[in-house]
Amino acid sequence: MISTADFRNGLVVLLDNELMEIVDFQHVKPGKGGAFVRTRFKNVLTGRVLDKTFRAGERMEEARLEERTWQYLYDDGDLYHFMHPESYEQIAVGAAVVGDNKNWMKENDSVNLLFYDGNVIKVAVPIAVVLTITKCDPGVQGDRASGGTKPATLETGVAVQVPLFVNEGDIIKVDTRSGDYIERVSS
C-alpha cells in the first residue's frame, strides 16, 4: 500500500480494480480545511484519462508491473510472436495489446513487454527507430531548400512525411511517439 505522499509521475496503481498510471499530480494545502492531492490518471489498458482528488495521506494499492526485453519475431495476422533472448521462450500477444506499435516493429527488433500478473498488458517500442524507405516519389532538383515534405512508405508499411531530399532506399530515423521524421541515417 502507498499513500498520496508517495505519488510520482509514471507510478501505476490499482484504482477501482483498474491499472492507472499517474500522469500528473499536485499537492494542495488550502488556507482552510485539510490538504488534498489533485491527480490525473491514464488507464494503462484503454488510455482513458481520469481526474481524481484524494485527501492527504489516503492509501491505495500499488500495482507490481514487470518490464522485460523480448525480441519481436513475426505476426500471423491476429497474434504477434515474441521470444525471450536468453531462455528462447516464446509468447504470442494479441493485436489489441500491440496497438499502433506494430507500425514501428520489424522482425528481430528488441521491444519491452510490460507484464501484470503474468500477462502482457503493453508493448513498448523505443522512442526512435531506424527504418528503410520502400516507396517514395523522387525529389525534384531545386526543391531542396524550400522545407517542403512528401509522403514515404517505410519497410513496416506505415506512411510518414519526409523532407524532399529523401529518396527511396534511404534509411531514416523516425520518432515513434509522433511518427515524425528525425534525420536521414544513410542513403
Instruction: State pLDDT tens for residues 14-60.
Output: 888 888 888 889 888 888 888 888 889 888 777 788 898 888 888 88
- Domains along the sequence of the chain with CATH: 2-62 (2.30.30.30), 66-124 (2.40.50.140), 128-186 (2.40.50.140)
Q: How many CB atoms lie within 10 A of CB 45?
A: 13
Q: pLDDT category, 82, cuts 50, 70, 90?
A: very high
3-class secondary-structure state, position 139: coil
| pLDDT surpasses 80 at 139 | no
Mean pLDDT of 135-154: 74
